[in-house]
Structure 1
């Protein structure tokens, strides 16, 4: 006699429950946004304390901030690579044109383009690599500079406000 689906008792671990609920909420809402009150209500129905929810929300906000900073860093690296590629194109085009005008053929300018292009290619490889120790060091260096720039801007704004009043 086959056992029906309703007679089988299923059990899920916490990660499985999270995944199932996440899929169900995503399917049900169709881009509907929830208010904070609704979030509190859902948490209370799941017997999650307001304190635990608040800590989770703070962790989520910190993680979102970190993700945004990394996206800004990646955008910065790509824009820097674009500038380098632009310089490479303009200068090497000029050098090749100069080489053709003077010698009637491409000779020495190809070596410059080749070696400079090798460096640019390695830089492009590093730019699009978004993991590992080198990436993390570059991100930390960029973030320290970013924070210093923000601090100096804040101090400068305060000095200007104090001077204007």
Structure 2
């Protein structure tokens, strides 16, 4: 019995080729890791020059590093929001209890609860649904601070080693 294949197109767009090859490579190999030599062989079979492969690999490493930094930034923002939410819950629970004990009903604490809650909701929107421009601006500021901290840490370590010598 012969296997029938679906009709195929005569031409493919570059992104279609990338997707097809990605699926084929994923199906062919059970192990998810390739050696650098295997990568070079695949590139040679596709007539990709070693220089182009090296440039692509460097670009991929840069993108991977930036993605890791963005994930770290997102995690940092989410942790900051969670701390603010915890403070909101603790302080407002205390204020509501004081208000109920002293006045027997919610009076003034309701205003604190609502206005602080509005600010918290706006902060949640910034963290979880930012505009692209706003997100990019916040990320760049965070990156500068992060790089400055790293630079200061390296300089401090070198000074400590120099003083200890």
- Matching residue of 2:129: 129
* Residue 64 of structure 1, CA deviation: 0.4
Query: Would you say the 8 A contact 1:129–1:135 is kept in 2?
Result: no
Match of 2:46 in 1: 46
Q: Deviations over 1:82-111 (max 9, x none)?
A: 000010011111111111111111110011
The separation in 2 between residues aligned to 1:36 and 1:27, in whole angstroms, is: 19
Partner of 1:156: 156
After superposition, the CA RMSD in angstroms is: 1.9
- Inter-partner Cα distance in structure 1 for 2:144 and 2:12: 44
TM-score, normalisation: structure 1: 0.91
Bigger Cα displacement from structure 2, 115-124 vs 9-18: 9-18
Q: 1:6 to 1:68 in 2, by over 3 A?
A: closer
The answer to whether residue 73 in structure 2 is matched with residue 58 in structure 1 is: no
Unaligned runs of 5+ in 2: none
2:33 counterpart of 1:12:
no
For 1:90 and 1:117, how far apart are their aligned partners in 2?
A: 13
Residue 12 of structure 1 deviates from its aligned partner by 2.0
State how far apart, in whole Å, the 2-side matches of 1:9 and 1:150 are. Answer: 53
Q: How does 1:86-165 map to 2 (within 5 A)?
A: 86-165=86-165
Cα distance in structure 1, aligned partners of 2:73 and 2:17: 35
- Corresponding residue pairs, total: 162
What residue ranges of structure 1 are gaps of 5+ in the alignment? none
